[in-house]
Structure 1
Amino acid sequence: SVPSAPTGLSLNNIDNEAVNLSWLDNSGNETGFTIQRKAPSDESWTDIAQIAADSTSYQDTTVSAGNDYDYQVSAYNDAGASNSSSVSINLPTLLAYGAQVYQDQGCANCHGNDGKGGFTNVPLTQYSNDTFDQLLNVNTTTMPLGQPDACVGNCAYSVSRYITDVLAITDAGGQDPQACAGEPPASSRSLRLLTRFEYQNTVNDLLGLSVNLIHELPDENRVDGYDNNVAANQVTGIRLEAFLNKAEALASEATTANYGQLVPCATEDNACATQFIQTFGLRAYRRPLTTDEVNQYLANFAQDAFRDAVQQTVMGMLMSPNFLYRSELGELQADGTYQLTAYEIASSLSYLFWGSMPDDKLFQSAAADALNTPVERAIEAHRLLEDSRSHEQVGNFVGQWLLSSSPYALPEKDSDVYPAYTNDVREALSQELVSFFTHVALDNAGHYRDLFTSNYVLANQTLANYYGLSGASGHQFSVINVPDGSRSGLLTLGAVLARHANSNESHPSKRGRFFFERILCHDLPEPANMGIVEAPTVDPNATTRERFAFHSETAESCYSCHQYIDGPGFSFENYDGAGQFRSQENNTTIDASGVLRGLETYTPSEEQNFTDLQSLGQIVADSPNASQCIAK
């Protein structure tokens, strides 16, 4: 009899270069199966294979990307052929498949949908046809992170083509990205909302006040720990109300307390009003006002008493987008690009190094168009860094870099586990973080290496007692040498150790991820497609390292990322969850040795061994990648 027809015919796209068909064999008397295919250009079905009886699958390797295919499978014997089972597939084009791979393999998680690299990762848009082979080798041998075997062959080729032929071209505005070879990539034009820290500093410098209002303004939306992301921070209804309340109060306070400083003349006539608007407006808008803007504010003086008009003008300028936002729009050039104005450069420098508006010297340099060359900007940068205001700004930066928050926002701890971790200690730990970084970077003219190898701390008596050190007295922070190596740079700062831990224990994975992402600038994607991971039964006598080792020893789904972070994480184990040094845990000598993978190349095969956190710091101090990371 004629064999029964196969059913349940299905197919899978195999890396966009083969199609795998599978079916249910419903007959025990077939001689074999006939596989037929029809492409859009075919007028009839074509036999592409006859395969043996009892088969339930077939792989067609003669397909081409970007085509549609219909398939039929029938069983046959000497009595005839069964009815056919049919199925169809559309194979995406090379670039469409590359776009699919880019998302499915998690490339976008680190490099962004546009390939520009996000905050810290390598921008893929730098690649082109000239560097395609280099990109293909990177993707084939190292990506996706931790699972380089997951995307090879046509998978790696397609996503590489998508990067060079779509992402890079799009980023270059439709032009060959190599047309700009040798030139630094252009930044996006933007209006950057002042942060609370910048707003407070700016109004104090502008109005001659000393107000503390950071906690009276809405919190920023932090991105990757930083508070100045352009896209995430705009004037919302809540912010608008807060800014309006502050503008009214600040204008009233300033005109009452500092009227003589604000108004440069005493005649209270139209000429004086114009002079006030121009001089105060220059500092408020951080650029000269246009004629229309001057006339707009002059209307206040035609309606109100002079002093009242001054107050209304101050309030109006404090509410203006020209005050609340820092302009990075630039001016259109003959070649179609935009270049920052001298006043925008002045603001970029002052907010970078001071977190506030330009001073008179910067305004003078901008007016003289004397900030155009690297040498001119470097001279100003050195001057700004020599000013004490740079210390607070550097402290603000280091808190966001190392703690993803203000340096003065350390977490609370379980007082039953860490009774010595008091509020006074938390305050001292925060101050140490700022003092150490500014001491190395500014006061001591230190080298990048010193951040990771210095065998001293800056501590007051409270912190010295907490660390078990002697040599400090009172509230003053001073340098205390630590020759035993228990403190050696910023990785051993108590604030860093306490921030990246739990409330009642250390946490190697949190600390390892902090190290890998913040110190090396290697971002890890969020875990995906892990399924259910069951944590092992906790042995109360085990060390923290023994409990966390299951990531790499038994949990294969965890290993792709934890092979990078757990090794460095274990190096921190000589420090408990509150940052105090320890040599034993549960009566067991702590093992802080490990393997650092992917330091320079982000590949798991690149390995460096270390014995403890001090030796890991030495590796980081010698690393070109880590030194570039801090500059990012």
Structure 2
Amino acid sequence: MGAWPLGLCLSVGCYSGMSGQQTDGDPTEGTGGPGGATEGGGNSDTAATTNNQPTDGGPDSDTDTGGTELPTLPESSRVPRLSHRQWENSVRDLLLLDQTPGKSALFIGDPISGGYDNNSEKLVVSATLWTDYQRAAEEIAEQVINDPELVALLVPADGDSDARGRGFIESFGPRAYRRPLTVEEVERHMQVFHAGVALGGTDPVLEGVRVVLQTFLQSPYFLYRVELSDVPDGDGNIPLNGYEVASKLSYMLWDTMPDEELFDAAKSGALDSVAGIEAQAARMLDDQRAHDMVASFHYQTLKVDSYSKINKSADKFPEFAESMRDMMVQETLMFVDDVVFSHELGDVATLLSAPYSFVNSTLAPLYGAQGQFTDQLVKTDLDPSQRAGVLTQLGFLAANASSTQNDPIHRGVFLNLQILCTGLPPPPNNVPPPPPAMEGESLRELIDRHTGIGTCGEACHGYLINPLGFAMEQYDPLGRWQTMDAGKPVDATGSFNFVQGKQSFNGGVELAKIIASSDEAHRCYVSHLLEYGYGRVPQLQDNAEIKRLAEGSRDGMYSIKELIVELTTSDAFRFRAPVEE
């Protein structure tokens, strides 16, 4: 198995200009090309300047197989570490607690930048984190043995000392390791139990349980999702056993350990088949924990954390209140949850184009929504000529604007990177701000003068960034509808080269609908979903599956829930490439 892990113009360029909200992490982080992996990690100059045509090895290249069976499987870790959220949830469910223990709040943070917080390639155990795990294990074990109700749930009450210790190990251990224990493992833990009993104390059995519990919670078999299977099939790929599939399912869909039904399915062999996995995935998506997973994925994909940084000038926007930040976060998450789990279609196109949202008495005036509202966010139809999907909601628009004016550059960058997965080259260092606006000059005119066609920023801004950002100029820095800028009618027209060809639009609603039907948006979404669900960056070998699912999503064959289920039944989920760690 290997050792356990411990661990453009210099004055313009891309992303130049505005001083509003920045995208989190490296703004060039993406998949390169329209929603597929590119050789070397994507985000090359070629990907950016060919107007969304895939680079070598992209989804439309000769590497496609056009199906779910891949000629080779992507590499993946045999020992992905649990994220801090997964650790918290696993401790809660392992110990049958009502809530998470909250110990990870004191853990050292993970070095995740520009990606998802469950990226197995970034999650390591440093010396500091190991100390954190040790301290948490000791505190949790102490809490358990001093709680009679927990002891009654976890430790057999009958029998002598050895019987109670063995009973605890044989019932608790398989749940902690998420697989059956070997005979040797049981005996080794019995030795640890005996060492604890020898410490004495008022209840030697509980002392033994305390030491064994510490051992389980610090074991790599608990801290990592371990894949021990190593026997290739006839194609040279390694099928995961039922318990490994159960854990992979539970951590993808629930961010926690398997429940009893999953353990039973693993034991019975039901997870050895695609049908069995599909049935469990469908069941799990009906659980609240799947709602939490979907919320976490979209929270990170849509950069909803940036809403907490929204700030507006009191002079220009006296309507703004800090309490709106949390409202905007909840609005987006409630909208996402409703689209995925309650909408008749529940697909990516609906997410990007549905003319409704969740508003209350504070947000309704910003939308111009009519009716009686309270403090509670409620599902509300919005003006379909002004609103279409998550990209025309207040949170996204306000977060991608400064405290005094719009930020079409960062709105355009966001759409390119997070929604279309257009590879943009990184901006040069020390980019100066745009010059002051001339008298009577609109923001669009200022940005065009500084970065548009005919300037040094033409390659990135003129054709990729600015057109998408200008389409959102009908929304002010607070996300409200506006028709005038600097005394002139807002110009929100533009065009963009999509895979289907150049598309022209006038405003955010038209752009949102074009994006919702584009190849790029569906490939990008599926690529993000695969990255989050599998806990790793998409690779060349994933392109055929990304293409298949994206085309199905674009054509209305797959809802978002169905995309998730499809990912759990793919070869890349059920098998592992025979690569040593």
TM-score (norm 2): 0.74
Amino acid aligned to 1:543: S
Match of 2:80 in 1: 192
Out of 224, 229, 244, the residue aligned to residue 134 of structure 2 is 244
Count of aligned pairs: 479
Match of 2:92 in 1: 204
Q: Which has the higher contact order (CA 8 A, sep 6+)?
A: 2
Report the alpha carbon displacement of residue 532 of structure 1 after superposing the two structures with TM.
8.2
Counterparts in 2 of 1:324 and 1:416: CA distance versus 1, 3 Å: farther
Partner SS, residue 564 of structure 1 = helix
User: Which region of structure 1 is more displaced relative to structure 2, 406-415 or 512-521?
Assistant: 406-415
Where does 1:118-267 land on structure 2 (aligned, <5 Å)? Answer: 121-124=36-39, 143=46, 145-146=48-49, 182-183=70-71, 185-209=73-97, 210=99, 211-213=101-103, 215-257=105-147, 258-267=150-159
Matched residues in 2 for 1:144 and 1:212: separation? 43
Counterparts in 2 of 1:536 and 1:488: CA distance versus 1, 3 Å: same
Counterparts in 2 of 1:117 and 1:534: CA distance versus 1, 3 Å: closer
Amino acid aligned to 2:453: E
Amino acid aligned to 1:274: R
Report the alpha carbon displacement of residue 609 of structure 1 after superposing the two structures with TM.
0.2
Asked if 1 retains the 8 angstrom alpha-carbon contact of 2:36 and 2:524, the reply is no
Amino acid aligned to 1:574: Q
Counterparts in 2 of 1:221 and 1:553: CA distance versus 1, 3 Å: same
Report the alpha carbon displacement of residue 482 of structure 1 after superposing the two structures with TM.
0.9
Counterparts in 2 of 1:513 and 1:111: CA distance versus 1, 3 Å: closer
Report the alpha carbon displacement of residue 540 of structure 1 after superposing the two structures with TM.
5.7
Counterparts in 2 of 1:248 and 1:504: CA distance versus 1, 3 Å: farther
Partner SS, residue 326 of structure 1 = coil
Asked if 2 retains the 8 angstrom alpha-carbon contact of 1:110 and 1:523, the reply is no
Amino acid aligned to 2:226: S
Percent identical: 28
Out of 295, 310, 332, the residue aligned to residue 209 of structure 2 is 310
Counterparts in 2 of 1:408 and 1:383: CA distance versus 1, 3 Å: farther
Matched residues in 2 for 1:506 and 1:343: separation? 51
Partner SS, residue 553 of structure 1 = coil
Where does 1:108-119 land on structure 2 (aligned, <5 Å)? Answer: none
Match of 1:72 in 2: none
Report the alpha carbon displacement of residue 231 of structure 1 after superposing the two structures with TM.
2.3
Match of 1:41 in 2: none
Partner SS, residue 258 of structure 2 = coil
Larger radius of gyration: 1
Counterparts in 2 of 1:213 and 1:125: CA distance versus 1, 3 Å: closer
Report the alpha carbon displacement of residue 328 of structure 1 after superposing the two structures with TM.
4.6
Matched residues in 2 for 1:462 and 1:356: separation? 36
Match of 1:422 in 2: 321
Partner SS, residue 438 of structure 1 = helix
Matched residues in 2 for 1:499 and 1:229: separation? 25
Report the alpha carbon displacement of residue 372 of structure 1 after superposing the two structures with TM.
2.4
Counterparts in 2 of 1:275 and 1:348: CA distance versus 1, 3 Å: same
What runs of 5+ residues in structure 1 fail to find an aligned partner? 1-108, 127-138, 149-158
Report the alpha carbon displacement of residue 240 of structure 1 after superposing the two structures with TM.
1.9
User: Which region of structure 1 is more displaced relative to structure 2, 254-263 or 460-469?
Assistant: 460-469
Out of 171, 177, 181, the residue aligned to residue 289 of structure 1 is 181
Match of 1:504 in 2: 404
Asked if 2 retains the 8 angstrom alpha-carbon contact of 1:595 and 1:607, the reply is yes
Counterparts in 2 of 1:541 and 1:123: CA distance versus 1, 3 Å: same
What runs of 5+ residues in structure 2 fail to find an aligned partner? 1-25, 198-203, 528-581
Match of 1:436 in 2: 335
Task: Give CA deviations for 1:179-224 in whole Å, capped at 9, x if unaligned.
Answer: x985463332332222222222221111222134553333222243
Amino acid aligned to 1:607: K
Asked if 1 retains the 8 angstrom alpha-carbon contact of 2:48 and 2:422, the reply is no
Report the alpha carbon displacement of residue 426 of structure 1 after superposing the two structures with TM.
0.6
Where does 1:89-108 land on structure 2 (aligned, <5 Å)? Answer: none
Match of 1:357 in 2: 257
Match of 1:91 in 2: none
Asked if 2 retains the 8 angstrom alpha-carbon contact of 1:509 and 1:562, the reply is no
Alignment pair present for 1:625 and 2:517: no
Asked if 2 retains the 8 angstrom alpha-carbon contact of 1:407 and 1:434, the reply is no
Matched residues in 1 for 2:433 and 2:406: separation? 21
Match of 1:376 in 2: 276
Amino acid aligned to 1:287: R
Counterparts in 2 of 1:117 and 1:564: CA distance versus 1, 3 Å: closer
Task: Give CA deviations for 1:569-605 in whole Å, capped at 9, x if unaligned.
Answer: 11111223333332222332212221122x227xxxx
Asked if 1 retains the 8 angstrom alpha-carbon contact of 2:32 and 2:421, the reply is no
Amino acid aligned to 1:628: R
Asked if 1 retains the 8 angstrom alpha-carbon contact of 2:35 and 2:521, the reply is no
Matched residues in 2 for 1:406 and 1:275: separation? 45
Task: Give CA deviations for 1:334-354 in whole Å, capped at 9, x if unaligned.
Answer: 554322222221112112211
Counterparts in 2 of 1:117 and 1:560: CA distance versus 1, 3 Å: closer
Match of 1:132 in 2: none
Task: Give CA deviations for 1:541-572 in whole Å, capped at 9, x if unaligned.
Answer: 42221121131234234434541121111111
User: Which region of structure 1 is more displaced relative to structure 2, 297-306 or 209-218?
Assistant: 209-218
Matched residues in 2 for 1:251 and 1:260: separation? 14
Counterparts in 2 of 1:563 and 1:276: CA distance versus 1, 3 Å: same
Out of 274, 278, 284, the residue aligned to residue 166 of structure 2 is 274
Counterparts in 2 of 1:461 and 1:375: CA distance versus 1, 3 Å: farther
Matched residues in 1 for 2:35 and 2:169: separation? 42
Amino acid aligned to 1:630: Y
Match of 1:556 in 2: 456
Task: Give CA deviations for 1:272-325 in whole Å, capped at 9, x if unaligned.
Answer: 322321221222222222233222221232122111222222222222222122
Task: Give CA deviations for 1:5-51 in whole Å, capped at 9, x if unaligned.
Answer: xxxxxxxxxxxxxxxxxxxxxxxxxxxxxxxxxxxxxxxxxxxxxxx
Counterparts in 2 of 1:506 and 1:293: CA distance versus 1, 3 Å: farther
Matched residues in 1 for 2:91 and 2:526: separation? 29
Amino acid aligned to 2:48: L
Asked if 2 retains the 8 angstrom alpha-carbon contact of 1:110 and 1:117, the reply is no
Counterparts in 2 of 1:373 and 1:538: CA distance versus 1, 3 Å: same
Partner SS, residue 386 of structure 1 = coil
Match of 1:477 in 2: 377
Alignment pair present for 1:367 and 2:267: yes
Report the alpha carbon displacement of residue 265 of structure 1 after superposing the two structures with TM.
4.7
Report the alpha carbon displacement of residue 515 of structure 1 after superposing the two structures with TM.
0.7
Matched residues in 2 for 1:570 and 1:491: separation? 13
Counterparts in 2 of 1:541 and 1:459: CA distance versus 1, 3 Å: same
Matched residues in 2 for 1:298 and 1:119: separation? 55
Where does 1:565-584 land on structure 2 (aligned, <5 Å)? Answer: 565-584=465-484
Q: Which protein is richer in strand relative to its size? A: 1
Matched residues in 1 for 2:313 and 2:241: separation? 52
Task: Give CA deviations for 1:394-413 in whole Å, capped at 9, x if unaligned.
Answer: 1111011110x648745444
Task: Give CA deviations for 1:403-432 in whole Å, capped at 9, x if unaligned.
Answer: 0x6487454444444443323211111111
Where does 1:77-88 land on structure 2 (aligned, <5 Å)? Answer: none
Partner SS, residue 608 of structure 1 = strand
Amino acid aligned to 2:96: G
Matched residues in 1 for 2:160 and 2:477: separation? 63
Amino acid aligned to 2:523: Q
